[in-house]
């Protein structure tokens, strides 16, 4: 099969028939064999009924329905697990992503050799309250991830080589950082294509400012996991050691000054009356706690399932299936 199209959706009943017809037209024009996986993320409208009708009309359209709303990441992860196509396309169900972009995205994966191609909605039809935070968010994501050539991490229209979606896990709200997840999994050939952004035709946007707060928290988590996920002691142990020794040196200085004044017979305030003494103790206590956090994290990581699992890109003279 050439293409698998994964479409996560929530309350998009009005747009689904038009989107399905559009996809079918594009696939037939280019002679692609394809499947469409519509993942209904607990919709409260008639989305599932529409998907059932579309399946009856076109057996290439299939669906999965969640019992409640879990979010876009679980929907994508479920869709990825079911794909059978050589190239996987993800797109939103609100008609803001154009299926006409699919043939070129497919070509970039198959002919140009990209592992992942992300869409870039260079010209957007969104309000300023959405576009400005998006620019700031993307600039931060580029900086942290090191993927300098992407301008729009959160664009729903993306294309993947099949191996990519089978080797990453999208959880929480990590769908915003799939290129980062792919890079961490060793798929570094990441490209970008300018795509057409269309104004929403039906329904209402699911956009909320809270996603930017959550997005930055998730980015911090992903950065930490990519650098210290299997070696937390390198982070917490170093930070804890530095804080402990700063506190220890400060206590020694305060004690040394006290001893000097006693030896010289000069009146001096009691050590326990000095705020520096307590600040020093706090540094030592926090340093000890951070060090123990790193130690415990190391024990957990050492015994975690898959800690020593590495993705093998290829072998020569060795049976890949025997590698543990």
In this predicted model, what pLDDT tens digit does every residue of 194-222 receive, in sequence order? 998 776 666 666 555 566 566 667 777 77
Whether 193 and 289 map to the same domain: the answer is: no
Tell whether 198 and 61 lie within a shared domain. Answer: yes
Say which residues have a Cβ less than 8 Å from residue 277's Cβ, sequence separation at least 6: 251, 254, 271
pLDDT tens digit sequence for 283-319:
999 999 988 888 887 777 666 555 444 454 554 445 6
Least confident residue range of 6-15, 45-54, 225-234 = 225-234
**Interatomic CA distance for residues 268 and 259, integer angstroms:** 10
**Rounded CA gap, 82 and 264, in Å?**
80
268 in the same domain as 215: no
Are 206 and 296 contained in the same domain?
A: no
**For residue 310, is it within any domain?**
no
pLDDT per position as a tens digit, 61-70: 999 999 899 8
Kindly state the tokens that stand for 150.
């992407």
Nearest to 285 by CA among 247, 239, 319: 247
Q: Of 193, 228, 263, which residue constitutes the final position of a domain?
A: 228
Question: Does residue 57 carry a pLDDT above 80?
Answer: yes
Domain assignment present for 107: yes
Q: Which domain holds residue 296?
A: 233-303
- Residue 186 sits in the same domain as residue 248: no
CA distances from 297 to 217, 219, 221 (A): 20, 20, 15
Task: For residues 187 and 93, state if they share a domain.
Answer: yes
51/164 same-domain check: yes
Q: To the nearest whole number, what is the mean pLDDT of the chain?
A: 84
324 pLDDT more than 50 = no
My answer on whether 184 and 242 are in the same domain is no
Give residues with Cβ within 8 angstroms of 142, minimum separation 6.
148, 150, 151, 153
Inside any domain, residue 153 = yes
Contact status, residue 10 vs residue 59, Cβ threshold 8 Å:
no
24 lies in the same domain as 37: yes
Residues 30 and 94 in one domain: yes
The reply to whether 275 falls in a domain is yes
Over residues 148-166, mean pLDDT: 92
* pLDDT value at 140 more than 90: no
| pLDDT, average across residues 77-106 | 94
Q: Are residues 241 and 135 in the same domain?
A: no
The reply to whether 40 falls in a domain is yes
Choice between 104 and 231, residue whose per-residue pLDDT is larger:
104
Among 190, 192, 112, which residue's Cα sits nearest to residue 151? 192
- Report if residue 317 sits inside a domain: no
Q: What is the CATH number of the domain that holds 54?
A: 3.90.550.10
Q: Of 228, 257, 278, which closes a domain?
A: 228
Hey, how many other C-beta atoms are within 10 angstroms of the C-beta on 231? 14
Q: Is residue 18 part of a domain?
A: yes
The answer to whether residue 322 is domain-embedded is no
As given in the structure block, the two tokens for residue 20 are 């399905």
Domain boundary residue, one of 213, 228, 243:
228
Q: Please tell me the least confidently modeled range out of 29-33, 88-92, 272-276.
A: 272-276
How many domains is the chain built from? 2
Q: At what angle do helices 128-145 and 210-228 cross, to 10 degrees?
A: 10
Residues 175 and 238 in one domain: no
């Amino acid at each position: 099969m050439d293409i698998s199209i994964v479409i996560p959706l929530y309350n998009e009943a009005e747009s689904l028939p038009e989107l399905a017809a559009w996809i079918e037209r594009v696939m037939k024009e280019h002679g692609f064999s394809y499947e469409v996986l519509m993942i209904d993320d607990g919709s409260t409208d008639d989305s599932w009924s529409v998907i059932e009708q579309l399946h009856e009309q076109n057996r290439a359209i299939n669906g999965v329905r969640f019992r409640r709303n879990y979010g876009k990441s679980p929907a994508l992860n479920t869709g990825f697990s079911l794909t059978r196509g050589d190239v996987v396309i993800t797109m939103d169900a609100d008609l803001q992503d154009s299926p006409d972009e699919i043939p070129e995205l497919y070509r970039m994966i198959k002919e140009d050799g990209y592992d992942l191609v992300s869409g870039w909605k260079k010209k957007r039809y969104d309000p300023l309250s959405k576009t400005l935070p998006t620019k700031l968010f993307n600039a931060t994501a580029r900086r942290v991830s090191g993927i300098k050539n992407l301008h729009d991490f959160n664009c729903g229209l993306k294309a993947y080589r099949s191996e990519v979606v089978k080797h990453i896990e999208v959880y929480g709200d990590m769908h915003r950082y799939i290129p980062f997840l792919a890079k961490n999994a060793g798929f570094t050939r990441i490209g970008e294509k300018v795509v057409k952004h269309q104004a929403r035709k039906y329904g209402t946007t699911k956009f909320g400012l809270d996603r930017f707060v959550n997005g930055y928290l998730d980015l911090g988590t992903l950065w930490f996991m990519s650098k210290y996920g299997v070696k937390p002691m390198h982070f917490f142990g170093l930070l804890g050691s530095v804080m402990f020794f700063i506190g220890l040196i400060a206590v020694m200085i305060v004690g040394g000054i006290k001893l000097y004044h006693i030896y010289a017979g000069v009146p001096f305030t009691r050590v326990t009356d000095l705020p520096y003494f307590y600040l020093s103790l706090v540094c030592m206590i926090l340093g000890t706690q951070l060090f123990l956090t790193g130690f415990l994290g190391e024990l957990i990581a050492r015994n975690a399932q898959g800690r020593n699992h590495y993705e093998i890109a290829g072998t020569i003279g060795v049976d890949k299936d025997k590698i543990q």
